[in-house]
Structure 1
């Protein structure tokens, strides 16, 4: 009886060992196979991933380099834009100055607010033997013109004849010649500028108006919203 039990245990133990050995052998073989398969699959992938990582690193480096270069270019462009802006302002200022010089030289037609100053001979007075005591002379006209320029007049004309920097006025009895063009009285002096400033400058107490009135000259001032003065005759 004891011999049968001992024999049965040996058989079972042998079976267990056989199964365990088979499982160990199978697991080892499977592990080797998987390892071999894994090595065959991952080696090229690893190499590919490594190459891609290197390419990505190079691209990032190139990108940083390009960004730095772009920043330099943008800085250069901003500097050029500032320089061009300054040059543009300089050219604009030069154009403005050129236009002002053309205006002062009488090369272009001008228009704007201003005043009309009219000078007329005084009424005949038989008590005064000298007729020059009540007629308008060139020095009267010069006084008005000089005061207007000092007060900011941008352009001046006498009876429509534009005055410039080298204009001349000659008195020939009752006639005044402006740059060779004769004009009888009344003499209308038109000036473009601030009407209030120009009129006030002439009408100040003891000023030009009072001086001419004391010389028996009829002096009138009229403010205008629009005065147009053409270029000097014979010039563009």
Structure 2
């Protein structure tokens, strides 16, 4: 009788153990399933939002194009509207490329080598107080980075690919070796005068480093700046349109 009772207890214990294992496995599987589904759902929501934004941008762009087309096709002067719009775009491209004269507000930075006595000053002092081609290049990059819309040095129009060289006491340019600019150097920049001045004189700016080195520097805000068009012939040998 005792053996039968033991067998029955073992049988019941086996059933209970199996049930517990089954329940535990089922819960883990359910958690994993819902966890994976929630991640997939989150990714799907993000993807949907991106698609909605792309569709919205395309609709806005399409509306602008349709508006232009309607303006071109209305009235007797539709061809003149097309020509006027093309001229306006050509003017914008000319301003970016530097082939169009510009005028407006901005700043002028006057730079001269600092004072030194050639017979008494050390070579280190002379080097520190001299404006080098590297200094001019870094200052040009700083002007571009703070938002200058046009730049010139002593009236010479600086383009996006213009580089500077040092030729004794003069600055020359990599795109026109016939032009020599001497001291004082006037760096003119077109833009909002207060913002340009604040950025140039901020702690850590390159212009501040030149001031600390002892160069003679003056910054003047102007409302009557003029930038003549470049006299360069823009001949690109390797650049091609993607759809050409």
Q: TM-score range by the shorter chain?
A: 0.5 to 0.7
Q: Deviation at 1:139?
A: 1.6
Listed as ranges, the matches of 1:1-236 within 5 Å are 83-85=69-71, 97-125=89-117, 126-130=120-124, 131-178=126-173, 179-180=176-177, 181-233=179-231
Aligned counterparts of 2:214 and 2:141: Cα–Cα separation in 1: 20
- Cα deviation digits, residues 133-192 of structure 1 (max 9, x gap): 211111211222112112221111100100112212101221111332111111101111
Q: Deviation at 1:95?
A: 5.6
Aligned counterparts of 1:155 and 1:138: Cα–Cα separation in 2: 20
Aligned counterparts of 1:228 and 1:157: Cα–Cα separation in 2: 9
- 3-state DSSP class of the match of 1:191? strand
Structure 1 stretch displaced more, 124-133 or 112-121: 124-133
Aligned counterparts of 1:203 and 1:184: Cα–Cα separation in 2: 24
Q: Is the Cα contact below 8 Å between 2:109 and 2:219 reproduced in 1?
A: yes
RMSD: 2.9
- 3-state DSSP class of the match of 2:122? coil
Q: Deviation at 1:223?
A: 0.1
- 3-state DSSP class of the match of 1:177? strand
Size of the aligned set, in residue pairs, is: 157
Aligned counterparts of 1:104 and 1:157: Cα–Cα separation in 2: 14
Change beyond 3 A, Cα 1:81–1:196? closer
Q: After TM superposition, what 4+ stretches of structure 1 lie above 6 angstroms from structure 2?
A: 86-94
Q: Deviation at 1:111?
A: 0.3
Q: Is the Cα contact below 8 Å between 1:112 and 1:192 reproduced in 2?
A: yes
Aligned counterparts of 1:93 and 1:202: Cα–Cα separation in 2: 37
Change beyond 3 A, Cα 1:170–1:207? same
Change beyond 3 A, Cα 1:93–1:220? farther
5+ long unaligned stretches in structure 2: 1-65, 235-244
Aligned counterparts of 1:231 and 1:184: Cα–Cα separation in 2: 21
Q: Deviation at 1:101?
A: 2.6
- Cα deviation digits, residues 165-220 of structure 1 (max 9, x gap): 22121012211113321111111011111111111110001212221112322221
Aligned counterparts of 1:195 and 1:209: Cα–Cα separation in 2: 16
- 3-state DSSP class of the match of 2:123? coil
